[in-house]
Amino acid sequence: MGKLIIKEKILSKNSDMAKQLRNKFKNTLVLNFVSSPGSGKTSILERVLVMLKDKYKLAVIEGDQQTSNDADRIEATGVRAFQVNTGGSCHLEASDVERGIAELGLDLDLLIIENVGNLVCTAAFDLGEDAKIIVLSTTEGEDKPIKYPTMFRVGTAFIINKTDLLPYVDFDIEKCIEYAKGVKPDLDVIKTSCKTGEGLQELARYIEKMIQIKKG
C-alpha cells in the first residue's frame, strides 16, 4: 500500500508539471519518441531533422541513462540538443523537460523528446507532449503491440523501422500492424529504413503537417 501511494504521488506531481509545460508549448509542436533500446530512434531523427531544419526552428531533448552519444549525433546535424542522463531511471519526467527548455528556450516550431529506451515506464509519464511516436524495429518481435498495449494505446503514430532487414529476420510486418491496430485502430503507421531511405520523406511530411496543424 505504501509503494502504491508513493507512486501515485510521483505520477500526480509529474502530471501537474506536464500540464504547466503544455500551456507553455502553445506554438511549439512537441513529439515524444519512445521505443525499446536499439530501435533506431536516433538514426531516424538524424535523417528527418536534416529535412526539416531549414524550414523550422528545431531542438531535441535526449534522454539516456548515461553518455551524451545521441545528443552529440543530433548536434552534428546542426540541430541543438540537450542531454538528460537519468542514471538508473528508465524514463524521462516532466521536470527533465522543464530543464531542457530552460536551456533550449521556447522559440521553437518543433521540440523532439527522444525518451529513454523503454516501452513500459515511458507510457505512464506525461511530458507535456502533443503526441507519442512509437518506434519498433524489425529485429524485435511483431507481438510487441499486444505485449505492451498501454504504450500503443497512448501512441499517435507507429514507426516500423529497419524494413531493409525484413528478408533476413523472422518478423511478420502485416501481423504487427494488425496487432497494433487491434490495440488502437486509428494509429498512424509509417514504415522506415535508414539504410534505404524508405519512409523518411513520408515521416518528415507527417511531422510537418503536425507542425502546421499546431500553428493553426
Backbone torsions φ then ψ of 152, nearest 5 degrees: -70, -25
Total number of domains constituting the chain? 1
Distance CA 186, CA 36 (A): 22
23 sits in which H/E element: helix 2-24
Q: What is the pTM (predicted TM-score) of this model? A: 0.93
Residues near 164 by beta carbon (within 8 Å), at least 6 away in sequence: 193, 195, 196, 198
Cell 546535424, located at residue: 77
Are the C-beta atoms of 195 and 164 separated by less than 8 Å? yes
Distance CA 208, CA 51 (A): 10
Residues near 44 by beta carbon (within 8 Å), at least 6 away in sequence: 33, 135, 159, 161, 192, 194, 200, 203
Q: Within a 10 A sphere around the Cβ of 63, how many other Cβ atoms?
A: 30
Distance of CA 35 to the CA centre of its chain: 7
Q: What is the pLDDT of residue 3?
A: 53
Cell 501515485, located at residue: 8
Angle at 144 between CA 141 and CA 150, to 5 degrees: 170
Q: What is the pLDDT of residue 65?
A: 84
How does pLDDT run along the chain (216 residues), one tens digit per residue?
455 554 566 688 999 999 999 999 999 999 999 999 999 999 999 999 999 999 999 999 999 888 889 999 999 999 999 999 988 778 899 999 999 999 999 999 999 999 999 999 899 999 999 999 999 999 999 999 999 999 999 999 999 999 999 999 999 999 999 999 999 999 999 999 999 999 999 999 999 999 999 998
Domain that holds residue 101: 2-215
Characterize 135-171 residue by residue with b for buried, 16 or more Cβ atoms within 10 angstroms of its Cβ, and e for exposed. Answer: bbbbbbebebbeebbebbebbbbbbbbbbeeeeeeeb
Question: Where residue 66 sits, what CATH number does that domain have?
Answer: 3.40.50.300
